Amino acid sequence: MSEEIKHSVVMIGAGPAALTAAIYTTREDIDTLLIEKGVVGGLAAVTDVIDNYPGFAKGVKGLSLADDLRAQAERFGAEIELGEVSDLAKEGKLIRLKTTSGDILADAILIATGCDYKKTGIPGEEKYYARGVHFCATCDGAFYREKRLVVIGGGNSAFQETIFLTRYASHIDILVRSQIKASDILQKEMQQFIVQGKVSVHLGVTPLEIVGDENGVTAVKGSDVNGSEIEFRTDGVFEFIGLKPNTSFLQSSGVGLNEQGFVITDENLETNIEGVFAAGDVRSGATMQIASASGEGATAALKIREYLEGRLHNSELKQLEVNP
């Protein structure tokens, strides 16, 4: 039987939190593996421009920041593997991970799987996914040059992504269910596109159905504040209605989750399972900002180092007791 693979630290996810944590652990010569099922860099990598990350006065391309974080982590020895974790469980002093490439043992785990886009759940959403329904403007916006679009959402991401989409679309209708929650800065920036006639904001509109034909999406049906039906002709739909934590793989693990599915941690970013830590957007209480995710990654790395040193110290003490 082949020997089981073991690492000092395994980080689930490879977004800003995990990559920053890996920079810190590998600089301390701690054997570190990151497992990422999607894009290295997480949602940051598919964000067009990040304007609020410290040190970049003119902003920074999301993909550029992700690439630099990856290169820095790998320079110190971090190993990044594409794959998916389906479960984890405490096994003595170690933690066993079930992954697409087989079981892996670790002394400590960092859960940094971040979040994914929420969906409306309305009819037509699944049917036309990737055929007119999208969740990433930088990924798919260029397909809609001189075409009409509908954006669903009224928060920062909806406004930020709509501004990006104005590079391509001839006109964009933003459907806001209740009230605009985007920051004042983004609202002021959006105003120029409203004045130019490139963007129309519709308040109190609830999307009810995405309709189309064999060629893709043709319209979004909804209702206004009076309950009257309203229809928006469109060539594509982009949804930006919030984020949900990527924690479905933890449902049977025993890791504590709150009602929304976010990972619960203590002040040391440790979960209810010894040796299992969490950082970034997946953690309950996270601020959903790239800068704070990176900060939490650094903190988690330091706490993991303390945890590993504590285990080593306790082991040495037990050895002295056995061999006085």
Cβ-proximal residues to 299 (8 Å cutoff; 6+ apart), any chain: 269, 279
For residues 291 and 224, membership in a common domain is answered with: no
For residues 285 and 254, membership in a common domain is answered with: yes
Query: What is the arithmetic mean of pLDDT over 277-290?
Result: 94
63-90 pLDDT per residue, tens = 999 999 999 999 999 999 999 999 999 9
For residues 110 and 253, membership in a common domain is answered with: yes
Asked if 33 and 82 count as a contact pair (C-beta separation under 8 A), the reply is no
Asked if 121 and 208 count as a contact pair (C-beta separation under 8 A), the reply is no
Which CATH number do you get for residue 210?
A: 3.50.50.60
Domain count for the chain? 2
Percent of the chain at pLDDT > 90 equals 84
For residues 141 and 94, membership in a common domain is answered with: no
- Tokens 């000092």 correspond to 8
139 is an active site residue: yes
**Has residue 313 got a pLDDT over 90?**
no
136 is an active site residue: yes
| Global confidence as pTM | 0.78
For residues 21 and 107, membership in a common domain is answered with: yes
Residues 136, 213, 224, 266: which is the catalytic one? 136
203-238 pLDDT per residue, tens = 999 999 999 999 999 999 999 999 999 999 999 999
Residues 29, 68, 139, 266: which is the catalytic one? 139
Q: Which domain holds residue 162?
A: 133-239
Residues 67, 87, 116, 140: which is the catalytic one? 140
